[in-house]
Amino acid sequence: MKQLELFWELVAPLMENIPANEQKTITDSYRRLTNRVSQIEKNYNLAIQNRAAVHSLLKKTSDDLLQRYQILFEYSGTAMAVIEYDGTISLVNSYFEHLFGYSRDELENKRNIKDFIENTHQSGIVDYHKRRMQGNPSVPTQYEAQVVSREGTVLDALITVGKFPNVQQSVISLIDTTERKQAERELEKEEEKYRILLQNITDGVVVHEMTQGGPGNFLEVNNRICDMLGYSREEMLTLSIHDMCVPEQKDKISDAINDLFSKNSAVFETEFLTKSRERILVEISARLIDLQGKQTILAVIRDITEKKIIEQEMEFYTAELMHHARDLQLVNDKINLLNRITRHDINNQMVVIQGIVEIIQDEFPDPALQDYVKMELNAVKNIQEQILFTKEYQDIGVQSPGWFDVRELIESSQSNLPLSDISTTIDMQGIEVYADPLIKKVFYTLFENAIRHGETITEISFSIQELSDGLLILCEDNGVGVPSQHKADIFTQKYFRNTGFGLFLSVSILMITGITITENGASGQGSRFEIKVPKGSYRFT
Amino acid sequence: MARSLIFSAYSGDEILESFNQNTDFSPTLGLIFSSVALDIPEVSAICSQMNIPIIGCSTSGEIVSGTDNSPVSEQTAACCFIDPDPDSFSIRLFETKDISEKDCGLEIGRWGMEAFKDPAYILFISGLNTNNEAIIRGIMEISPDKTPIFGGVAGDDGRFEETFVFTKDKYSTQGVVAIVFDRSKVQINGVATSGWVGVGADMTVTSSEGNIVYTINERPATAIFKEYLNVNDETLQQVGVMFPLLMKRPDGSEVLRTFLSVDHERGTLIFAGSVPKGAKVCFSSSFGYDTIEKSISDLHDFHNLHEHADLVILFSCLARHQAAGSMVDDEIAAASELWNAPIFGLFTYGEIGNNRFGTCDFYNETLCLVLIRFVA
């Protein structure tokens, strides 16, 4: 511009010598030229400014990006390293130091990445690295491997690798997945456990999705339902419960769905069709569950065809039994009536005989006759006792068995007996036995026998002892005991001393509900009765 | 087809002289894009002697094709006189001084709708603090969908001091001159193409109001620009126009925003269009040749859709000229070859046009090409 101005200074004096219109043309041209040059200079300066600004912008933005990536590298939350062509680690972040237990100074440009790879994975990963550096695009960018820390700890790691463009370097990111892997293994075990449970359960189990149109296809089935219906698992997974149900009972499915939504569960019986079109009766117990965010139905399906047949047979036999029981009751009632009338008549006649014999005894003092009279009276007494026995024996088993508190039975049995010189200990509480209502007579007999035959007796004790197959109720005293030669006879009708009927009846009373009684005390050291109650016939309250 | 007289002039007198020399036809409309070096009030006054409707604005460079020289000139006036049916258009100058930009846009829209049932607009806007986008939104709000709106923001040779719009009667440093065409008689189509690319990481506009940006990334907007461009207060405006913000809108669209005014004291920048708070922005830059290549490619695509024009008006951003230098001649030449029609235009501080999806928007750093075709 300055040169142009200098040029004009030279030209201007010459302008005076040319015509005015030409002067104007030249002056205008000069003005336009100076404008143009001025603009070019301005634009040139602007271009320099712009160039500087572009340089600054690029530097600043690249610095920004560099800082961002440095922060990303450092705070990615994974162990990161830059790996050179030959595997040398040239840059690491803090997490990498922490994971492997080495300082940055010990790692950068001093160690090779393969040093940290567990032996069995080493060759594969080194091969990946080489191929990646050669630009092979088929090398995986993410894989799992095991790495080894400074202490020799083997860690599971998820490794992600990317190659930097235009340079022979890659960036590697390792996520320590040891805990996750362990959890996965635990989960697999748990899943295996549940799978085994599901597949080995004796009932059929199905899970199916609920859709707007009703139950969807089965999502999961166990082996039992496949066996039950004759389909393979793969076939089952293409079917729904509607495919199983017999046509005339499909309404039950709709009702059950309504129940599911109102009560969250439903139990119903229906008929299913097997693959071979056979009908089976099933009981379905279904619940609405949330499975991985989906509303699904878990249903347990039991084949009750056999059970139903047995139930029907049971009903038939129960009816039969009731019919026969009624007949037996009728017969029993007649026998009892006959017994009572006969017993009453015999007793009347025996009273007459006894009265006549006692008159003879008073009127005829002949010693020879008195012996016969005594024998006659004795015979009368025996007949009366036998009549009494028939009365008591007649009552056994007439009433239905029930539950009785043992302590209460013992306490009420002793209440009317003369036990003033004999102390009683009852070491039990809250035990009930299932027995004939006459069981009270059993304990009464035990007390009565002890008083009558114990001789030196001062103590009677009752206790219990639970065995693997039942309960023992023990009755022990400190009397003379049962002589060993009579132990086998005390429970027979004919014996023992004049009380055989009591223990014989006791055996019969107890036997009705499977209870037994034995005596095993040592002779001379007191008697010891064991009443053994089978499992199911006693309970603790 | 309308006849036209297009020429370049270095002064107001030259404009009048060239206009008067024309004996071929009687123009009914004049458009004048003049450098502020020509003294715009004087140009406006001279226009009043021509006795036809004239509208124009100040520029940052002028475009006139069809001469032996470069189509681009500076400190001149690009003049175009045509003879459309006087009933097919109407012109008016609107002041924005005492009215919001949005209301101004609504007023323009109402005026256009009253003038013609199916209007199309070409606008020139003056003022360095104006939210030009808001004017466009105002017109769009009241107009039928897809109403063509094109135009540009007046320049002042890159000085960023004072810009003008004018008619033959008056001029305004804070106003809009609009010409509305009857679309039943005049077809208007156009496209805007940029080529600027984002540079660097995203930043967040943390405080703004309309087109005034207070802070970016919680720092004064001026500080961010000065730091990244390594410029001082004196050169910030001149250089900053070359590095507009690339703004990412919530709807996924991107638009460039250039600031036309700086408040150094408050550290704020006044952009040519809206920059809402929370917007994600990054710097952008042009890499010269790539930008021109892209625009030429876009012009070819647009030509495939609209092959014919009686007149082509170019609104090209000042920054394109500065970034691409004489390469802008190539895109002007490409337009000239494609449409074989008279081409004239100006370098602006902002452009109004359609994106490739046909949606009207306010842009910076674009070349906005407008095709005018007289049907009747």
Q: Which residues contact A336 (CB under 8 A, 6 or more apart)?
A: A394
Q: How far is CA B355 from CA B11, B146, B190, in A?
A: 36, 12, 9
Q: Which residues contact A444 (CB under 8 A, 6 or more apart)?
A: A413, A417
Give a yes or no: residue A363 inside a domain.
Answer: yes
Residues A56, B358: Cα–Cα separation, whole Å: 37
Same structural domain, A93 and A166: yes
**Domain CATH code at residue A118:** 3.30.450.20
pLDDT per residue rounded down to tens, chain A (541 residues):
788 888 888 888 888 888 888 888 888 888 888 888 888 888 888 888 888 999 999 999 999 989 999 999 999 999 999 999 999 999 999 999 999 999 999 999 999 999 999 999 999 999 999 999 998 989 999 999 999 999 999 999 999 999 999 899 999 999 999 999 999 999 999 989 888 888 888 899 999 888 777 788 899 999 999 999 999 999 999 998 888 888 888 888 888 888 888 888 889 889 999 999 999 999 999 998 888 888 899 999 999 988 888 988 999 999 998 888 888 878 877 887 788 788 888 888 888 888 988 898 888 888 888 888 888 888 888 788 778 777 777 777 777 889 999 999 999 888 878 887 889 999 999 999 999 888 988 998 899 888 888 888 999 999 999 999 999 999 999 998 888 888 878 887 665 445 556 888 889 889 989 999 999 888 788 999 999 999 999 999 8
pLDDT reported for residue B376: 60
Give a yes or no: residue A193 inside a domain.
Answer: no
pLDDT reported for residue B274: 92
- Beta strands at B212-216 and A528-534: parallel, antiparallel or unpaired: unpaired
CB atoms within 10 A of CB A40: 12
For tokens 């300055």, the residue is: A2
Contact A43 B325 (CB under 8 A): yes
Give a yes or no: residue A142 inside a domain.
Answer: yes
Residues A261, A295: Cα–Cα separation, whole Å: 11
Same structural domain, A434 and A474: yes
Give a yes or no: residue A190 inside a domain.
Answer: no
Give a yes or no: residue A145 inside a domain.
Answer: yes
CB atoms within 10 A of CB B69: 8
Q: Which of B337, B336, B366, B335 lies closest to B349 in space, CA to CA? A: B366
Q: Which of B238, B258, B225, B373 lies closest to B312 in space, CA to CA? A: B373
CB atoms within 10 A of CB A273: 16
Residues B302, B189: Cα–Cα separation, whole Å: 10
Residues A60, B200: Cα–Cα separation, whole Å: 8
Same structural domain, A363 and A408: no
Residues A265, A151: Cα–Cα separation, whole Å: 56
Contact A53 B242 (CB under 8 A): yes
Amino acid at B160: F
- How far A60 CA sits from the closest chain B CA (Å)? 6
Give a yes or no: residue A194 inside a domain.
Answer: no
CB atoms within 10 A of CB B356: 12
Residue at which a domain ends, from A19, A43, A69:
A69
- How far B126 CA sits from the closest chain A CA (Å)? 23
Three-class SS state of B52 = coil
Q: Is the ipTM of this complex over 0.90?
A: no
B283/A contact by beta carbon, under 8 A: yes
**Domain CATH code at residue A454:** 3.30.565.10
B345: buried, middle or exposed (CB in 10 Å: 19+, 13-18, 0-12)?
Answer: buried
A58/B contact by beta carbon, under 8 A: yes
Residues of chain A contacting residue B158, judged by C-beta atoms under 8 Å apart: 46
- How far A48 CA sits from the closest chain B CA (Å)? 10
B10/A contact by beta carbon, under 8 A: yes
- How far B244 CA sits from the closest chain A CA (Å)? 12
pLDDT per residue rounded down to tens, chain B (376 residues):
578 999 999 999 999 999 999 888 899 999 999 999 999 999 999 999 999 999 999 999 999 987 767 899 889 999 999 999 999 999 999 999 899 999 999 999 999 999 999 999 999 999 999 999 999 999 999 999 889 999 999 999 999 999 999 999 899 999 999 999 999 999 999 999 988 899 988 999 999 999 999 999 999 999 999 999 999 999 999 899 999 999 998 777 889 999 999 999 999 999 999 999 999 999 999 877 888 999 999 999 999 999 999 999 999 999 988 888 888 999 999 999 999 899 999 999 999 998 767 788 999 999 999 999 998 6
Give a yes or no: residue A236 inside a domain.
Answer: yes
- Beta strands at B360-363 and A154-163: parallel, antiparallel or unpaired: unpaired
Mutation target vs B (from A24, A33, A49, A71; most B CBs, 10 A cutoff): A49
B12: buried, middle or exposed (CB in 10 Å: 19+, 13-18, 0-12)?
Answer: buried
DSSP H helical ranges for chain B: 12-21, 40-47, 101-115, 132-142, 221-229, 233-240, 289-305, 318-324, 328-339
A35/B contact by beta carbon, under 8 A: yes
Mutation target vs A (from B238, B258, B291; most A CBs, 10 A cutoff): B238
Amino acid at B145: D
Residues A318, A315: Cα–Cα separation, whole Å: 5
pLDDT reported for residue A496: 40
Q: What is the dihedral of CA A500, A506, A509, A513, to 10 degrees?
A: -140
Q: Which residues contact A116 (CB under 8 A, 6 or more apart)?
A: A100, A147, A148, A149
Q: Which residues contact A401 (CB under 8 A, 6 or more apart)?
A: A434, A435, A436, A437, A512, A513
Same structural domain, A517 and A429: yes
In the Cβ-directed half-sphere of B263, how many Cα atoms lie within 13 Å?
A: 14
Q: How far is CA B333 from CA A193, B119, B364, in A?
A: 79, 30, 22
- Contact criterion met (CB below 8 Å) for A1 and A38: yes
Same structural domain, A289 and A370: no
pLDDT reported for residue B1: 59
Residues A218, A400: Cα–Cα separation, whole Å: 52
Q: Which residues contact B187 (CB under 8 A, 6 or more apart)?
A: B371, B372, B373, B374, B375
Same structural domain, A260 and A384: no
Q: How far is CA A45 from CA A42, B156, B227, B325, in A?
A: 5, 18, 20, 13
Residue at which a domain ends, from A69, A86, A112:
A69
Q: Note down the domain range covering A266.
A: 201-303
B239/A contact by beta carbon, under 8 A: yes
Same structural domain, A349 and A438: no
The secondary structure of A228-282 as a DSSP string is HHT--HHHHTT-BHHHHB-GGGHHHHHHHHHHHHHHSEEEEEEEEE-TTS-EEEE
- Contact criterion met (CB below 8 Å) for B197 and B287: yes
Q: Which residues contact A528 (CB under 8 A, 6 or more apart)?
A: A474, A475, A476, A481, A519, A520, A521, A522
List the structure tokens of A490.
């005390």
Residues A83, A60: Cα–Cα separation, whole Å: 27
List the structure tokens of A99.
């994971």
Integer Rg of chain A from CA:
55
Residues A406, A404: Cα–Cα separation, whole Å: 6
Is the Cα dihedral B34, B37, B41, B46 positive or negative?
negative
- Beta strands at B175-182 and B311-317: parallel, antiparallel or unpaired: unpaired
Q: Which of A120, A119, A115, A122 lies closest to A100 in space, CA to CA? A: A115
Residues B372, B2: Cα–Cα separation, whole Å: 10
Residues B33, B62: Cα–Cα separation, whole Å: 7
Same structural domain, A418 and A529: yes
Containing A90, the helix (H) or strand (E) segment is strand A89-92
Q: Is the pTM of this model over 0.95?
A: no
Give a yes or no: residue A195 inside a domain.
Answer: no
List the structure tokens of A458.
């001062």
Count of domains forming chain A: 5
Q: Which residues contact A324 (CB under 8 A, 6 or more apart)?
A: none
Amino acid at A2: K
Amino acid at B158: G
Strand partners, A113: none
Residues B347, B317: Cα–Cα separation, whole Å: 5
* Domain positions in chain B: 4-193+289-374, 201-285
Give how far the C-alpha of residue A113 lies from the chain's centroid of Cα atoms, to the nearest Å. 49
- Contact criterion met (CB below 8 Å) for B187 and B375: yes
Same structural domain, A133 and A82: yes
Contact B325 A46 (CB under 8 A): no
Please state the φ and ψ torsions of residue B128, each to the nearest 5 degrees. -95, -10
A435: buried, middle or exposed (CB in 10 Å: 19+, 13-18, 0-12)?
Answer: buried
A46/B contact by beta carbon, under 8 A: yes
Facing B200 at nearest CB: one of A50, A55, A65:
A65
Q: Which residues contact B14 (CB under 8 A, 6 or more apart)?
A: B77
Residue of A nearest to B72 (CA): A36
- Contact criterion met (CB below 8 Å) for B35 and B75: yes
- How far A36 CA sits from the closest chain B CA (Å)? 8
Integer Rg of chain B from CA:
19
List the structure tokens of A333.
């009632």
- Residue A268: is the preceding peptide bond cis (ω within 30°)? no
CB atoms within 10 A of CB B137: 19
Contact B201 A58 (CB under 8 A): no
